[in-house]
Amino acid sequence: MSHWTIENIPSQVGCIHLITGANSGTGLAATQQLAQSGALVIMAVRDIDKGRQAAAQIKQAIPNAKLDIMHLNLADLKSVAQFALEFKSRYKQLNVLINNAGIALPNTRIETKQGYEGHFGVNHLGHFALTGMLLPILMATPHSRIVTVASFVPKQSHSVINWHDLQYHDNFDGMTCYGQSKLANIMFGLQLHDKLQQANSSTLSLIANPGFTKTNIQKDMGFFAKFLTLTIAQSVAIGVLPLLRCAVDPDVTSGQFYGPLKLKEMRGYPELTQAPKPAANEPNREKLWLLSEQMTQTTYIFS
CATH code assigned at 77? 3.40.50.720
pLDDT tens track for 129-164: 999 999 999 999 999 999 999 999 999 999 999 999
286, pLDDT greater than 80: yes
Q: What is the pLDDT of residue 259?
A: 98
Catalytic residue among 178, 258, 269, 300: 178
DSSP-H helix ranges across 62-126:
77-90, 118-119
Residue 186 forms part of a structural domain = yes
Q: Is the dihedral of CA 158, 162, 163, 166 positive or negative?
A: negative
Is the model's pLDDT at 277 over the cut of 50? Answer: yes
Report how many domains make up the chain.
1
Nearest 10 degrees: Cα torsion 10, 95, 132, 213:
30
SS3 state at 31: helix
Vertex 146, ends 273 and 199: CA angle to 5°? 100
- Please report whether residue 259 resides in a domain: yes
CB 95 within 8 Å of CB 248: no
Judge whether residue 278 has pLDDT over 60. Answer: yes
The boundaries of the domain holding residue 49 are: 11-296
Q: DSSP label at 294?
A: H
DSSP state of 235: P
Residue 253 in domain: yes
SS3 171: coil
The pLDDT score that the predictor gives to residue 282 is 98
Q: For 44-91, how does the pLDDT look when each residue is reduced to its tens digit (9 = 90+)?
A: 999 999 999 999 999 999 999 999 999 999 999 999 999 999 999 999
71 in any annotated domain: yes
Q: Could you report the per-residue pLDDT of 176-206, keeping only the tens digit for each?
A: 999 999 999 999 999 999 999 999 999 999 9
Establish if 4 belongs to a structural domain. no
Q: What is the pLDDT of residue 222?
A: 55
pLDDT exceeds cutoff 70 at 40:
yes
**β strands within the chain, DSSP E:** 16-20, 40-45, 66-71, 96-99, 145-149, 204-208, 257-259, 271-273
- Provide the pLDDT for residue 229: 60
Average pLDDT over residues 278-291: 98
What counts of helices (H) and strands (E) characterise the chain?
11, 8
Which tens digits make up the pLDDT trace of 203-254? 999 999 999 987 665 455 555 455 566 567 899 999 999 999 999 999 999 9
The pLDDT of residue 170 is 95
Judge contact between 26 and 215, C-beta under 8 A. Answer: yes
101 falls within a domain = yes
Residue 303 lies in a domain: no
| Residue 217 placed within a domain | yes
Q: Which helix (H) or strand (E) holds 303?
A: none
Is 178 one of the annotated active-site residues of the chain? yes
Please name which of 260, 275, 262, 274 lies closest in space to residue 4, comparing C-alpha atoms: 260
**Cα 119 to Cα 102: distance, rounded to the nearest angstrom:** 8
